[in-house]
Structure 1
Amino acid sequence: MSRLRIVLVMIEPPLPFGNAAARWFYVLYKGLVERGHQVTAFAACSQPEDLAKARTLFPAPTYDLRLYDFPIRSGWQSKWQTFLRPFSYMFSVDLVRDLNAVLTQDFDVLHLEQTWSGWLGIDHVGKTLVNVHYLAAIDLGEQQPRNVQEVIERFLIFGTEKRLLRKFRHFRTVSPRLEGPLLAINPKAEVMTVPLGLDGALYGYIPDELRTESRNLTLIGSMGWAPSHSAAIRLLSRLWPQIKRRVPDARLQIVGWSAREILSDYLGQRDVTIEENVPEIRPYFERASVMLYAPSRGSGMKVKIQEAMAFGIPVVTTSEGVEGLPALDGVHAGICEDDAGLIERTVALLLDAGLQNRQRLAARQLLEKHCGPGVTLDGIEKIYADIKGV
């Protein structure tokens, strides 16, 4: 593809082991520059310590990466801004000013990562690509608000999502599941699905001889995210007791942001370890025999499922868990919706190392073929070409 002038906006810095979205941003930004495109990237930053990490990974002049702290908002001006542009809180005045200055110059594509970034591209609809990671209309559509505050929040979320999705033409979704609901909101949209890319080179596949000999069941994910929270509650309250009965020497570890705080009712159980806010996640994958992640509802691809497959950890999950992956039950993962089936698949894997090794190798190969940097960046460039009309 010919060299393009791309302006990229991200809601977090592109870090290979940052939050879930940041892992994709790393693949995207690094890959576009390596392919010869001229990319000016803007990133909001919720964690001040991530600024230095990103600058080290993407030094000037090779990269043109501009980083901005999340603004500190308070008082009536903040409330007014929320009323005018809900969920634009992560974009500082400086970021908006500098971005608009760049957009006065010639560019080919304005690439906005995540729906809320749409606030920044309203004046450039024809050249803008909006990447939809998930849809709140799916994630929260069946949940009843618990109080007045949640009623107001849902009203803002659903209304803002529809408002922004109706303004643009070009969209990338990370899974086919998102296409239909997006088109229902905006029938004139041009939608293409490209999976969430993950750089497998950063995830050393754990060889058979180095895998744990213990039967360690694992769930890893941020407890502040509804799918991971629902998966943890289901595991602790419904799945784990029966698994433990059938595999008496099994142990359970749950790891994630705010896990001990949010799952406090489950602390102190025998053979159950809950850890939160850990600096490095790989050691917990290395201790895992099987990852059981069965969320009730949550659209978009699940990065922790991808990471487990990348490291070579066998996965048991639901169709929600493997959304965006053409995974087959019994081949790449144990996939089932009901408790009995999830328990059966987990027990079988815990008791059979050979089954673990066959499934985890197939999953790693699937991930490399479907979500590697090469294939996902090819898909992004195809969308750019469509926007350019070439």
Structure 2
Amino acid sequence: MKILYFYPENPLSFSQGNNSRALSLLHYFKNRSIYIDLVGEKSSEFGEDAIDDLKNEGLIKNGYLLKKEKKSSNIIKYYLNYSFPRKINSKFKDFDRTKFGYKEQFAKIVKNTEYDIILISYVYWSSLLDNVTKGSNTKWIVDTHDFLTSQFQTNKKFALDRYFKREINLMKKFDNVWVISNEENYLFSQFINNPVSLITHGLPNNIETSSKTEKTIDVVYVASENFHNIKAANWFFKEVYPLLSPDIKITVVGKIGNHIPKFENVENLILVKDLNEVYKKSKVTICPMLSGTGVKIKVIESLSHGIPVVCNERGVDGLVNKTNNGCLTTNDSFLFSDYISKLLNDAEFYNQNHLEAKRFFEDNFDSKKTYKILDSIFKVN
């Protein structure tokens, strides 16, 4: 079996939770000895050195990076194949992230190798297949990652019916639609006739090894710098942080650190080589999400180490159980700070939530369970 997997960003970068999902899929393919070629989008953080790293770790066979072509390279092709079509379909531009030359480059990669499966990440990259002739034995799969219509609702020209219909129509070109949460599974399956598969974010069980590591970090906060996280960080450091003891050691991981003022007890780590090493040293995780959709990968990562999570209501989106899952949920800043303080100072309370996190993770997100679902899709014995 040969699979071509499109994922735009560097899976080895721990700056965003979605990268963790991509990396976990690559580890599955490696574990099952499945041939994988990866296609990404060239950027300052995703270059040939990252492709070499993925090859050296045995995660991919070949790697390709799509590069935006210059308008001057072919004026006629630019206007006929790229500029004019985008103007005609301008109301749907949010659902197409391809740049000039991407579709042709992708089609060339597909043409050079006979793939059994083409796996595309995110619906707004589905147009990469526009120039691809589908083989009779080839299957197309989309890993949705999220409910995109909700992400666009702040746009000036947003119209729920038009956006949702577009998202569903794009999914219909695929033989299988992957979702990461039960809510999205229910929603999309109402409108799509082809199979919709719930592929949870499976992770290795790190609970035992984490329990043996000295805890030098009281609170860890992992986030990228998207709109939702910036709003969440502003809320936490304005409303919750002043209520906490200045003796609490907080470590912030990810580009969200670029948007946080300097505090004596807050350490900012923009980039880390191994996020698991940070989790192992941490007592409590926070996920102050006020908006956004889909499962929060950082929550599952925390649970995989048996670490209790303090979060807002959006932090438990996509989880099967909203309670008794290792997450303490509130939108009240005072209660949010109280939860953190009690976890750090009440050993019995901490252990209770640690055990709930452990049970919930093992029942729902252990990679062994996710692998079984993927095995059935890829017909792996």
TM above 0.5, one fold? yes
1:255 aligns with 2:253: yes
Amino acid of the structure 1 residue aligned with 2:255? W
1:113 aligns with 2:121: yes
Q: Which of 39, 48, 52 pairs up with 1:51? A: 48
CA distance in 2, matches of 1:204, 1:51: 36
In structure 1, the residue matched to 2:283 is 289
CA distance in 1, matches of 2:358, 2:44: 31
Query: Does the Cα contact within 8 Å between 2:219 and 2:285 map onto a contact in 1?
Result: yes
In structure 1, the residue matched to 2:215 is 211
CA distance in 1, matches of 2:338, 2:182: 29
In structure 2, the residue matched to 1:31 is 28
1:306 aligns with 2:300: yes
Q: 1:314 to 1:91 in 2, by over 3 A?
A: farther
CA distance in 1, matches of 2:42, 2:159: 23
| TM-score, normalised relative to structure 1 | 0.75
3-state DSSP of counterpart to 1:320: helix
CA distance in 1, matches of 2:65, 2:318: 31
In structure 2, the residue matched to 1:193 is 198
Query: Does the Cα contact within 8 Å between 1:222 and 1:258 map onto a contact in 2?
Result: yes
Give matches, 1:14-29, under 5 Å.
Answer: 14-15=11-12, 17=14, 19-29=16-26
1:134: how far off? 0.5
Give matches, 1:218-229, under 5 Å.
Answer: 218-226=220-228, 228-229=229-230
Amino acid of the structure 2 residue aligned with 1:133? H
Query: Does the Cα contact within 8 Å between 1:331 and 1:362 map onto a contact in 2?
Result: yes
1:193: how far off? 0.9
Unaligned runs of 5+ residues in structure 2 are: 73-77
1:384: how far off? 4.1
1:88 aligns with 2:98: yes
Query: Does the Cα contact within 8 Å between 1:196 and 1:376 map onto a contact in 2?
Result: yes
Query: Does the Cα contact within 8 Å between 1:82 and 1:88 map onto a contact in 2?
Result: no
Q: 1:291 to 1:366 in 2, by over 3 A?
A: same
1:16: how far off? 7.3
3-state DSSP of counterpart to 2:203: coil
1:113: how far off? 2.1
1:87: how far off? 1.0
Q: 1:282 to 1:196 in 2, by over 3 A?
A: closer
Q: 1:25 to 1:209 in 2, by over 3 A?
A: closer
Query: Does the Cα contact within 8 Å between 1:139 and 1:299 map onto a contact in 2?
Result: yes
1:295: how far off? 0.8
1:315: how far off? 0.8
CA distance in 2, matches of 1:347, 1:80: 58
Give matches, 1:1-390, under 5 Å.
Answer: 4-15=1-12, 17=14, 19-47=16-44, 51-59=48-56, 63-71=60-68, 79-80=83-84, 82-83=86-87, 86-89=96-99, 92=102, 95-102=105-112, 105=114, 107-121=115-129, 123-124=133-134, 127-141=139-153, 144-145=154-155, 151=157, 161-183=167-189, 186-200=191-205, 205-207=209-211, 210-212=214-216, 216-226=218-228, 228-241=229-242, 243-244=243-244, 247=245, 249-260=247-258, 262-263=259-260, 267-268=261-262, 271=264, 273=266, 275=268, 277-280=270-273, 281=275, 284-285=278-279, 288-327=282-321, 329-384=323-378
CA-atom RMSD in angstroms: 4.0
CA distance in 2, matches of 1:60, 1:291: 29
Query: Does the Cα contact within 8 Å between 2:68 and 2:100 map onto a contact in 1?
Result: yes
1:319: how far off? 4.2
1:69: how far off? 4.7
Q: 1:38 to 1:252 in 2, by over 3 A?
A: closer
- Report % sequence identity: 16
1:211: how far off? 1.2
**Greater mean alpha carbon deviation, residues 189-198 or residues 353-362:** 353-362
CA distance in 2, matches of 1:378, 1:283: 27
Query: Does the Cα contact within 8 Å between 1:169 and 1:188 map onto a contact in 2?
Result: no
Q: 1:286 to 1:361 in 2, by over 3 A?
A: same
Amino acid of the structure 2 residue aligned with 1:378? K
Amino acid of the structure 2 residue aligned with 1:118? S
CA distance in 2, matches of 1:102, 1:346: 54
CA distance in 1, matches of 2:70, 2:359: 46
CA distance in 1, matches of 2:179, 2:306: 26
1:210: how far off? 0.8
Amino acid of the structure 2 residue aligned with 1:257? K
3-state DSSP of counterpart to 1:196: coil
Q: 1:248 to 1:39 in 2, by over 3 A?
A: closer
Tell me the matched-pair count.
Answer: 363
